[in-house]
Structure 1
């Protein structure tokens, strides 16, 4: 009996010494740890809560050289302490007097000397014998003891991310409760209080994830297109993690899962405005960067302004889309692209020469702030709907799997587009009829220089009578001199002419393809300000009347029997 009393007394002394050591030297981590805290039980600084499989532990820590104390969760078996979640980031404790308690209302409460520092809030759920458990996923949960549904939590840390995303953690929004699951950068490695850089879902009609700094958009992943986020096609089919995107009437969120359960990976956002996907390399005993965002300069939000597209392989990374020109040429030339681009010709939603669409391939689609989505219709019906709405500027499939399905339409200026080197989507952008003809001409194998109307007007002295070479049924021909000194002849289609854009296009295609030593060379065209111009080289060694005859011949080639016209033109030597 005496020996038993001595053994019990020795065990009490040992337990007391271990508690003292844990409090004084918490970094030794030799404390006895549990995986749950029952009602009214508490955890002091120096104690640990460990998940059943030993993957994670919860306790008090001090980041870097800081002396302030925080409650957090970190990997248990990784020697470099890697914190994945912080409870009281905004309210640190100055010493080791912190106590974490689960109360009868099913809430965790962190106190210091009797003052509340941090607490959970699950007052809207029925509480019966609550317990706290740290799961092997890294999720700290409060649940009712004996609850048959393993995911019926009163509260969970996964709903309140810190600066890191773990496998299975939802990043997005619960539409039923309004809960927003965002993750926010620490202010610094030694200060885990929330900074002003964060990742967030914007629940537009075509939802998107953004990296923000305050209210400013830093980076946009692009909307989910059924296979990947539009701006990052290289994230699909990687060997580390799988992507799962859910969008329904209840929730919109992104989560990732591990391809191999043995891999340890984490996604972290920091105050510099970057996110890093780290993978733990056991052999090196170190974290290795697997992916980081922004991937390149073109991922900078809105870099090229409205109707500008960014392509990292170009020396001048920002380019105006075809049919657009820099709004401020001077600023654009100095690599200030923020003012973006404007149309060369105005749209015409109604009338004879109506708008249409030009297909742009391999794109990160524009910012989806002002969009409309209908997943029940296909691409052709989407085109019809967009064309009938004068405010619709672009459309494409909302889901690109297979042959594509669904419809998304953009309204307002198109911004934050990127020409991807691999992958990307087809985007159909609204264009005036004149640009449609140019696009069709290029696709038909005719590559001509497009002249600005003002430069041709200047070259012909504003189409003065003194420069007129002749006149036909479809318009007049003028002599001109370009700024580089080249002499030209300009056919100006008459506004009263019956020749429309189709006939004009046919003429351009025919003459551009006809290469004959006796025919005048077509240099280019201009379709601006309701003007249709053809620019030919002027044949300096021929008389003007001979040149006029050549032009008339060319005009007739479209509107006479071709063989007869060809015989007439062939006599020109």
Structure 2
């Protein structure tokens, strides 16, 4: 009997350790429960697993020889297979799919690339890849492009500004549920790249901006002993990753974002056969984002830990004294902006957050200081790269947020202060009587000499002919004059005249009430679009200056880039980057060209416009209301990425300003909300209304202006969409060009819902742009919309604020200027 038990045990052990394993899978094979893939060196293993319930199966990757099992990636993290007979299959087209026992699809890789001979392989880096052929390095799909909660060596967190998407870590819901949790570990690219961990849309903590070696808040002493970090960023995207300095098992490491939002760096110890936590964030109170509010310093080695920067005082002293630092600090004395401002150097610092910063990696620190002094809003500067003694320029504007004393090795930053905050001993030197007398004598001598020179010159030029007109400088106080590509420069009129072939008709791209737009080519071959304002243009000098000033400060992938401007007598030119695909209305309102915009492209255009408006309303240094959002002002680049243009009518709002009124109503009929068209009241919700009109136009392929509901002639396109929505026939709104079948109709239906929420009559009911971005990219239930603006249906006649005599406001797309009568 005993010998029989021993025999059974031997058979069981033999079967257990001979479970099917493989290094690759082809379309002729599938991977079932208890079967695994193993990387060639045996480091990683992939297969199905569960958390004690065999009817909830996940496919994941883990370390093969490390116990307990550590899951580093899960394919179907949000949708487990609901039985124990799930399998992983590679299709002949190169797609990975997970099927449940009934053959239903649970998860798919949805690869857009087509393979000839697809092969699935688990690499020793932990990357699960689909290749085209056994020996090919051409990856058609890879798990590293879809991070979970773990960041492995060799993985890259990428942000592609051209095609998207943005890649980041997302925590598990809890330790036994790999579904997406509340926390995200990402690279914020709104300004200079910085690492942030967010709870939903709120920053939880940040390890600071990139400094050339690592993110400035990370521990230099610990990390650089065994890791080499890298960050590559261009105008097309950002890529962040790391490699181990020792490729052996002595350097098995991972970064995990746990369900509580902590980012923990683990290092495997062969000696103890366990994981050591090398670093964890947040480790102290100063690591939580903006613990001390704005314009302050956090230092865990002092009590209290928060202190206002020099030249600043607590905004709410009583709260500050009770250790409520959320109000931050304000300046004691305003910056003069003209004379006497100076910079105090702080050393050993984790640099402040940089979402609203500006940078130029080619400038020196001295050039950086000069640039900052020339811009009244600039409050601090530092090197953007600390390697080789420091290089590059990083500028901060307005308030300084989330700065602390570094735990081991920080950076230098220079904070701008008024003259009154200078060291008293240095101030005495400036007030020395001998020095003051010398300055006075020198100044008097200069004035006398200048007077003599002016008189002599005026006599010489009296009989001379009038010189030819020359380019005028623009003395706007808040514009920084630069010679790099990030801010506009002044072009000589003759240069643009030659580039456009003397503004010939063959170079003309379009024409409107403002003037004409011409395509040009500069001497270096760069293509440009030139907006030439007509002498009778409704966009006068003030609007022209407004557009240049605004575009000089705005940088976003969904805003058109202003390259420069030119003024010569009555000629006013704006020079923009050239958009080869013209504007959105060129496509969606044309039955032939409209076919080039399938639903996927249209959805990306809608999302891009929304993100551009969200930047204008809340993420830029200035809060800006565009006031003329329409399809002809949405330009498309060669990848069909939308770019918002034409900021001539834009207005800057204060931080706490909700709305503004004007007697000069300017905009485009069909896109203006009722409160603006009728009462001259505008706010961020005005742009939201215009955005909603564009959404309905993109979905329907029809213009709001001139449209008449076939059954209710008083209804425009918005009213038509509302009628179909109430009659539970909203899909009849969809452009005939689009395929409205299957899952596609659900996406379109959600966009129609969002569009109707945006065009509601009452501006208070309309969502803001940040909510709209979440609505477009989420799956949560949306609120019920109310009737749209200018709705002339029977149930809303009293609420429209628009009588029949004002019906023109929704059907005429001519840009208008109406003035109060004298």
TM-score by length of 2: 0.49
Give the gaps of 5 or more residues in structure 1: 1-16, 23-27, 445-500, 508-573
Bigger strand fraction: 1
Q: Does 1:190 align with 2:176?
A: yes
Q: Partner residue of 1:405?
A: 391
Q: Does 1:157 align with 2:140?
A: no
* Structure of higher CA gyration radius: 1
Q: Does 1:46 align with 2:38?
A: no
Which deviates the most, 432-441 or 101-110? 432-441
Given candidates 431, 434, 441, the residue that maps to 1:502 is 431
Taking the aligned partners of 2:276 and 2:409, their CA distance within structure 1 comes to 26
1:254-308 residue CA offsets vs partner (Å, 9 max, x unmatched): 2121122222111111121111111222232221211111132111101011101
Given candidates 285, 288, 310, the residue that maps to 1:300 is 288
Contact preservation (8 Å) 1:311, 1:318: yes
Contact preservation (8 Å) 1:172, 1:200: no
Q: Does 1:217 align with 2:206?
A: no
Closer, same or farther in 2 for the Cα pair 1:504/1:349, shift >3 Å? farther
1:119-172 residue CA offsets vs partner (Å, 9 max, x unmatched): 00112x232111100111110000111564x2x200000011111111101123
Given candidates 63, 66, 70, the residue that maps to 1:75 is 63
Q: Does 1:116 align with 2:124?
A: no
Closer, same or farther in 2 for the Cα pair 1:376/1:439, shift >3 Å? farther
Taking the aligned partners of 1:504 and 1:90, their CA distance within structure 2 comes to 76
Map 1:162-561 onto structure 2 (within 5 A).
Answer: 162-234=148-220, 238-262=224-248, 263=250, 264-350=252-338, 353-438=339-424, 440=426, 502-503=431-432
Contact preservation (8 Å) 2:214, 2:230: no
Residue 221 of structure 1 deviates from its aligned partner by: 1.1
Contact preservation (8 Å) 1:167, 1:255: yes
3-state DSSP class of the match of 1:180? coil
Given candidates 81, 86, 97, the residue that maps to 1:98 is 86
Contact preservation (8 Å) 2:368, 2:381: yes
Taking the aligned partners of 2:127 and 2:434, their CA distance within structure 1 comes to 65
3-state DSSP class of the match of 1:89? coil
Closer, same or farther in 2 for the Cα pair 1:126/1:329, shift >3 Å? same
Contact preservation (8 Å) 2:54, 2:83: no
Residue 99 of structure 1 deviates from its aligned partner by: 1.3
Closer, same or farther in 2 for the Cα pair 1:337/1:223, shift >3 Å? same
Residue 175 of structure 1 deviates from its aligned partner by: 3.6
Taking the aligned partners of 1:298 and 1:402, their CA distance within structure 2 comes to 29
1:22-67 residue CA offsets vs partner (Å, 9 max, x unmatched): 8xxxxx5641211111014211111111111111111111136786
Closer, same or farther in 2 for the Cα pair 1:407/1:64, shift >3 Å? farther
Taking the aligned partners of 2:162 and 2:297, their CA distance within structure 1 comes to 37
Residue 503 of structure 1 deviates from its aligned partner by: 4.7
Taking the aligned partners of 1:502 and 1:274, their CA distance within structure 2 comes to 54
Residue 244 of structure 1 deviates from its aligned partner by: 2.0
Q: Partner residue of 1:517?
A: none
Taking the aligned partners of 1:504 and 1:326, their CA distance within structure 2 comes to 36
Q: Partner residue of 1:546?
A: none
Taking the aligned partners of 2:28 and 2:170, their CA distance within structure 1 comes to 31
Taking the aligned partners of 1:387 and 1:145, their CA distance within structure 2 comes to 58
Residue 363 of structure 1 deviates from its aligned partner by: 1.3
Taking the aligned partners of 1:165 and 1:336, their CA distance within structure 2 comes to 35
Q: Partner residue of 2:73?
A: 85
Q: Partner residue of 2:541?
A: none
Contact preservation (8 Å) 1:35, 1:51: yes
Q: Partner residue of 1:537?
A: none
Taking the aligned partners of 2:80 and 2:432, their CA distance within structure 1 comes to 76
Closer, same or farther in 2 for the Cα pair 1:146/1:192, shift >3 Å? closer
Q: Which has the higher contact order (CA 8 A, sep 6+)?
A: 1
Taking the aligned partners of 1:66 and 1:279, their CA distance within structure 2 comes to 31
Which deviates the most, 224-233 or 95-104? 224-233
Contact preservation (8 Å) 1:236, 1:242: no
Residue 181 of structure 1 deviates from its aligned partner by: 1.9
Which deviates the most, 68-77 or 222-231? 222-231
Give the gaps of 5 or more residues in structure 2: 1-10, 437-822
Taking the aligned partners of 2:395 and 2:163, their CA distance within structure 1 comes to 28
Contact preservation (8 Å) 1:163, 1:184: yes
Residue 203 of structure 1 deviates from its aligned partner by: 1.2
1:378-411 residue CA offsets vs partner (Å, 9 max, x unmatched): 1111111110110111111111223321111111
Residue 505 of structure 1 deviates from its aligned partner by: 13
3-state DSSP class of the match of 2:431? helix
Taking the aligned partners of 1:163 and 1:84, their CA distance within structure 2 comes to 7
Residue 426 of structure 1 deviates from its aligned partner by: 1.3
Contact preservation (8 Å) 2:195, 2:209: yes
Closer, same or farther in 2 for the Cα pair 1:54/1:394, shift >3 Å? same
Residue 236 of structure 1 deviates from its aligned partner by: 6.2
Contact preservation (8 Å) 1:100, 1:110: yes
3-state DSSP class of the match of 1:360? strand
3-state DSSP class of the match of 2:107? strand
